[in-house]
Chain A
Amino acid sequence: MTDIAPTGTPAKPDETARAPRRKMRLHIAVFLAPAVLIYTLFSIYPLIESLRLSLQSSVPGGEADYVGLANYAKLFFDPLWADQFLNALKNNVVMFCTIMVVQNPIGLVLAALLSLPKVRFTGTYRTLLFMPTLLSVVIIGFVWQLILSPLWGVTDGFLRAIGLAHAYKPWLGLEGSALFTLSMISVWQYVGVPMMLIYAALLSIPDELIDAARIDGLRGWAIFWKVKLPLILPTLGLVGILTYIGNFTVSFDLIYAVQGALAGPNFSTDVMGTFLFRTFFGQQTQLGDPHMGATVASVLFFIILAGVSVYLLAVQRRLQRYEM
């Protein structure tokens, strides 16, 4: 009745915006094309190309041949490769578990404290606690290397001062403790991430819900365990998957900076990232091999894909996001 479309053709309100159809198509493409192009060329295509490269083999300078899954077979079953691969994978898993067990509970506690009502200076605490996360992993690695170094003696001196005179060992240099020490450095740096994510989730719980819980007779910790925690489970799931992805990729930076590409001592801190780097670029006696590098990267891709699928299918579905 109140149709005032200039063309006179009856148009639903929703469709008036795209009345001149051909013109519309063009500008949608203009808006989307640059992003899609760059993203496809430098992110998606290389991933697919890596998968393709992993199915080929070549001698240096020669043509690449299709070899099927031979590279994967070599990686999994040839002792020369399998030992290193399994060692790196094991170290990644150990590191992931250590970080999950240490970092995320600390982050949860800090977030819970920060989100309490009437705590002062939370903004300042939040800003300072998050600071290490911003710094380059490389820089952090060096900083801790210096602090833990027997040459400087800061750690030694500190332990002496608190009465643990003989507790000090050059942890980064010992096979038994290097990986754990690196994990702790990673925890130190990244605890701000779970803290911030959980903090935001806690703040998004409406006050009235907490009031209702108080009316229902809950106090302090009971409110946290029975009301808040169930509501932030989706965020804990998110923290878990982020830790998982980060562990399989960014852990390279820390280990390469602190221990070098050989992930010493004696490969005790070798992870998939450093293994990939050595495979691709070669190491002392061995030449780099792009096809084996692509194979390692592809395996890493499937490992991450598996983790993400588990998260999306199992965790995300069960830990449904609650409308609050």
Chain B
Amino acid sequence: MSAPETSTPSAARVQPSIARARTGRIATSTAIHTVLFGYTIIALFPVVLVLLNSFKTKRAIFGDPLGLPFGKTFSAIGYLDVLHKGDFATYFTNSFVVTVVALFLIVLLGAAAAHALAEYRFPGNGFLGVYLIIGIMVPIRLGTVAILQMMVQLHLVNTLTALILVYTAQGLPVAVFILTEFMRTLSRDIKDSARIDGLSEYRIFFEVVLPLIRPVLATVAVFSMIPIWNDLWFPLILAPGEGTRTVTLGVQQFIGQYTVNWNAVLAALTLAIVPVLVLYAFFSRQLIRGITSGAVKG
């Protein structure tokens, strides 16, 4: 029934039109890639420029900003300055501690609350669900005056604990929102089967639910990390002391102090940028999933 694969007379006539269609497609595709590539250059250029020049001599920074750091133009003087004049090791440790602890709390407490909202029917479930996600729309910064007063009373000013508490409160609404949506899609049967096996509700949460939603937890963590790591407002207000500065605040203060030392400024900026880029290289997939899941569900 099926014909052999030889070309029929009509196949010859087909060729020109296919060729025409193909050139049209190539033209369209070239145009698309020109736009996308062009904008990618715009997106990357400033960052690349700073990274490159942070490794150059002062003369090369001004004489040939676009050149690569190579041979005579190479210099790490900026980094030496930064290491001597600023306490970047402390800043990084602070940012790291604040971010990791806050993320741990956001993910764990957020997942527990989301599990309760998605799994059990109890009076006030609907209200609490709405209450917990109001924070997505109302920025926590608006309560800064009261937060500072409260931290003063709790003797938490200039401690990392203050930042951790505020960031946990700030991150919970989005985490609860995404996790509740996701947990509602989990099969009820698997939890019921765990109940029949005699697991307590706590063990069901830790041993059945959490492992099932691990990928989503990663997404939520990566997604919540960015605003915490990058924030300037709360470190500036709640923990501006030398010993509790985060990287963002540290860089900001450092640059304010050494504006004329271009090598040091560029090196400080690079130090702030690179860790984020490295993390992004590893976690871009989770991050993008987090953003898009919000778009599809929200």
A interface residue numbers (CB < 8 A to B): 16-18, 23-25, 27-28, 30-32, 34-36, 38-39, 41-47, 49-50, 53, 106, 109-110, 113-114, 116, 118-119, 121, 125-140, 142-144, 146-147, 151-154, 157, 188, 191-193, 196-201, 203-204, 235, 238, 241, 245, 248-249, 252-253, 256-257, 273, 276, 280-281, 290, 293-294, 297-298, 300-301, 304-305, 308
Contact = CB atoms under 8 A, between A and B. Distances in A.
B59 interface: no
B208 interface: no
Nearest to A136: B230
Contacts of A32: 112-113, 116-117, 128
Interface residues of B, number: 94
Contacts of A143: 46-47, 49-50, 269
Contacts of A142: 251-252, 255, 265, 269
A71 to B, nearest CB: 12
A127 B284 CA distance: 7
B50 A126 contact: no
B78 interface: no
B183 to A, nearest CB: 11
Given A147-B49, A153-B65, A304-B142, A197 B292 contact: yes
B296 A200 contact: yes
Interface string B269-298: 100110011001000100110011111101
Nearest to B280: A134
A238 B280 contact: no
B85 interface: no
Contacts, number: 277
A193 B223 CA distance: 12
Nearest to A148: B46
Contact of A200 (B39, B128, B262, B295): B295
A197 B295 CA distance: 5
A43 B192 contact: no
Interface of B: 29, 32-33, 35-37, 39-40, 42-44, 46-47, 49-50, 61-62, 65-66, 105, 109-110, 112-113, 115-117, 120-122, 128, 131-132, 134-135, 137-150, 165-166, 168-170, 172-173, 176, 192, 195, 200-202, 205, 226, 229-233, 236-237, 248, 251-252, 255, 262, 265-266, 269, 272-273, 276-277, 280, 284, 287-288, 291-296, 298
Given A28-B122, A38-B172, A308 B280 contact: no
Contact of A304 (B29, B105, B139, B265): B139
Contacts of A154: 49, 65-66
A297 B135 contact: no
Contact of B166 (A42, A118, A198, A203): A42
Among A39, A114, A198, find the residue whose CB has the most chain B CB atoms closer than 10 A. A39
Contact of B109 (A34, A42, A281): A34
B298 A238 contact: yes
Contacts of A197: 291-292, 294-295
B221 to A, nearest CB: 14
Given A144-B46, A146-B50, A305-B138, A25 B122 contact: yes
Contact of A129 (B39, B66, B168, B298): B39
A34 to B, nearest CB: 5
B120 A147 contact: no
A135 B44 CA distance: 12
A281 to B, nearest CB: 8
Given A110-B39, A253-B231, A257-B252, 20 more contacts: A27-B201, A34-B109, A36-B131, A41-B150, A42-B165, A43-B169, A44-B131, A46-B140, A47-B140, A113-B36, A114-B36, A131-B47, A138-B252, A139-B230, A147-B46, A290-B145, A290-B148, A297-B145, A301-B142, A308-B138
